[in-house]
Amino acid sequence: MGTAAGGGFPQWNCWCRCCREARTNPENARQRSQSSAAISADGHHWFLLNASPDVRDQLSRLPSNGHPSSTRYVPIEGVVLSDAELDHTLGVTLLREARHLPIYATPAIRAILERDSRILPVVRAFGDVPVTELPPDTIQALRHRDGEPSGLTVEAFTVPAGPPQFALDAAEGHTVGLMIRDEAGGSCAFVPGCGGLGPALMARLAEADILLFDGTFWDDDELKGLGISQRTAREMDHLPIGGPDGSLARLATLPCRHKVYTHINNTNPVLLERSPERAAVVAAGLQVGFDGLQLTADS
Amino acid sequence: MGTAAGGGFPQWNCWCRCCREARTNPENARQRSQSSAAISADGHHWFLLNASPDVRDQLSRLPSNGHPSSTRYVPIEGVVLSDAELDHTLGVTLLREARHLPIYATPAIRAILERDSRILPVVRAFGDVPVTELPPDTIQALRHRDGEPSGLTVEAFTVPAGPPQFALDAAEGHTVGLMIRDEAGGSCAFVPGCGGLGPALMARLAEADILLFDGTFWDDDELKGLGISQRTAREMDHLPIGGPDGSLARLATLPCRHKVYTHINNTNPVLLERSPERAAVVAAGLQVGFDGLQLTADS
């Protein structure tokens, strides 16, 4: 649905090289909304992986979003969360008109949404928001809003990352990857925020047919170089793409059918269609995600 | 900036007559983002009146939004809030990258943002969010981010309305109108949510050159008739436009130069360009607001 990091691309207050290009020359730098994915076993019943502040526009582009006969129609069956970051969860508030919106989240993510951002208590004032807890490393069925099985399961697994900046306290499991599997054996790993790629995590990701991975920054010093932040990519818990220790060199070795960067920050030169960084991603067998990209596990 | 009620137009989960038309035949039902206005004394320094979830796109349409030479540039000087509703305040969270974002709000609105939606504590984790309190019926200068006077003042005044559904508690002043004045004597009254038009409020609004007023519903039974809600417009604290006791009959008597409906719900037939309800608004000397509408106090 969306492939940009928080703030989108271009970002409202940014005039870096990439954002200028996205405004004036979008064929060389496609605009992107904030990261989120939709997944389905049947092409009709969809689950959102994270709900971004751009969810309203994103849902209008869902493939199955036709012309329902009823006055009100909710085109998604639930929202699965990988963390409690604002760019991944504010969309839950924007979906409050659903009146019944199932959420799937780890206990740690749920606690931040209850206490720190208060997204859950606020949305509960408008309707029912049942939360199915996802203890890490446990397979959980995803069900349609009417309780029927969807044919999909989800398993959360912790990844190296810090908690959201606004969280007063955060337990283990505040930031996870999600492995979604269908009944035919197809699988998708969704890891939009990740600070490192150790051997256990690499082994897990190797099992996925589709991998959507943290493409926030190209360079560890990307924001420092622009004078935007004093922190490196790694200090912000995002493994940069480039360099000998970057994610590209590691992910290039994985056998997944589709390997796609998402959650791409507006400063990342892979956003420029003709940049050497983009060419390096493609040469390594990965893709730079874009809004509207559709992938299937078996082709 | 935006002229629709919460959820926008079309609303993501709505297939009422107006929303269907907006999707399939937008020249007869312009799409609209969620309500917010931008106001300026000089056409360069802007204040937002409410910050909607669509603020990112809305800011890209600001008239003065050119090509700044710095890497980061904040095109607004502050946000003035008329209430703590989600469709009027979530944009504050989306502007967290500003790092310094002055807010103007009544003590009651501020309390809801601190305690219930927690928008202020959350945004404070990313930067400075100084709040200037607006006690009702008190004139306050609006200042640029650098502290310079803007040439504008604001006065908040309470209007008949209930507090946000999610607020656990709300003091007097949780919902106000805003009167903005410039040094040349021009004025704009911004009243996006209002449950009644008593004589004192009418007298106040009569002083404005520009009036932006609650156009949520045409009919008191609008949502009941569609089977969407059991509550009437008045029970939701929105004075309907139509009928002998509606806002149109009252506002038609005011001498303001520009009288515009905003915060228009997706079900309201005034959204249809050729509806009899639209014709009635125009015949009474009012306008149905649309995104991008620009008005000046003296012409």
Residue corresponding to tokens 């604001």 = B154
Q: Per the structure block, which two tokens stand in for B276?
A: 């009899």
Task: Tell me whether residue A273 is in a domain.
Answer: yes
Residue B66 has pLDDT above 90, yes or no: no
Distance between CA atoms of residues A231 and B219, nearest Å: 54
Task: Tell me whether residue A139 is in a domain.
Answer: no
Q: In terms of Cα–Cα distance, which of B55, B2, B7 is closest to B30?
A: B2
CA distance A118 to chain B (A): 6
Residue B145 has pLDDT above 80, yes or no: yes
Task: Tell me whether residue A276 is in a domain.
Answer: yes
Task: Tell me whether residue A96 is in a domain.
Answer: no
With CB atoms and an 8 Å threshold, state whether A126 touches B93: no
With CB atoms and an 8 Å threshold, state whether A86 touches B226: no
Task: Tell me whether residue A246 is in a domain.
Answer: yes
For B259-282, write each residue's pLDDT tens digit.
Answer: 999 999 999 999 999 999 999 999
- Per the DSSP assignment, residues forming a β-bridge with A187 are A181
**Which residues of chain A are within 8 Å of residue B23 when distances are taken between CB atoms?**
60
**Which residues of chain B are within 8 Å of residue A118 when distances are taken between CB atoms?**
116-118
Task: Tell me whether residue A215 is in a domain.
Answer: yes
With CB atoms and an 8 Å threshold, state whether B117 touches A116: no
Chain B touched by A86 (CB under 8 Å): yes
Task: Tell me whether residue A107 is in a domain.
Answer: no
With CB atoms and an 8 Å threshold, state whether B122 touches A86: yes
* B298 band by pLDDT with thresholds 50, 70 and 90: confident
Q: Per the structure block, which two tokens stand in for B187?
A: 């004025």
Residue B299's pLDDT is 81
Chain A touched by B38 (CB under 8 Å): no
Q: What is the mean pLDDT of residues B145-173?
A: 95
Domain count, chain A: 1
With CB atoms and an 8 Å threshold, state whether A13 touches B126: no
Range of the domain at A214: 1-29+192-299
Q: What is the CATH number of the domain that holds A295?
A: 3.60.15.10
Residues near A112 by beta carbon (within 8 Å), at least 6 away in sequence: A84, A163, A164, A167, A170, A174
With CB atoms and an 8 Å threshold, state whether B72 touches A13: yes
Chain A touched by B230 (CB under 8 Å): no
CA distance B258 to chain A (A): 30
Which segments in chain A show pLDDT lower than 50? none
For B179-226, write each residue's pLDDT tens digit.
Answer: 999 999 999 999 999 999 999 999 999 999 999 999 999 999 999 989
Chain B touched by A282 (CB under 8 Å): no
Q: What is the mean pLDDT of residues B235-253?
A: 96
Task: Tell me whether residue A168 is in a domain.
Answer: no
Distance between CA atoms of residues B209 and B186, nearest Å: 6
**Which residues of chain A are within 8 Å of residue B55 when distances are taken between CB atoms?**
12
Q: Per the structure block, which two tokens stand in for A180?
A: 């979604």
> 3-class SS at A200?
helix
**Which residues of chain A are within 8 Å of residue B71 when distances are taken between CB atoms?**
14-16, 226-228
Distance between CA atoms of residues B222 and B226, nearest Å: 7
Chain B touched by A274 (CB under 8 Å): no
Contact A37, A212 (CB under 8 A): yes
* B65 band by pLDDT with thresholds 50, 70 and 90: low
> What's the burial of B253, exposed, middle or buried (CB within 10 Å: 0-12/13-18/19+)?
exposed
Chain A stretch 157-186, residues whose beta carbon is closer than 8 A to a beta carbon of chain B: 164-166
* B68 band by pLDDT with thresholds 50, 70 and 90: confident
Distance between CA atoms of residues B226 and B223, nearest Å: 5
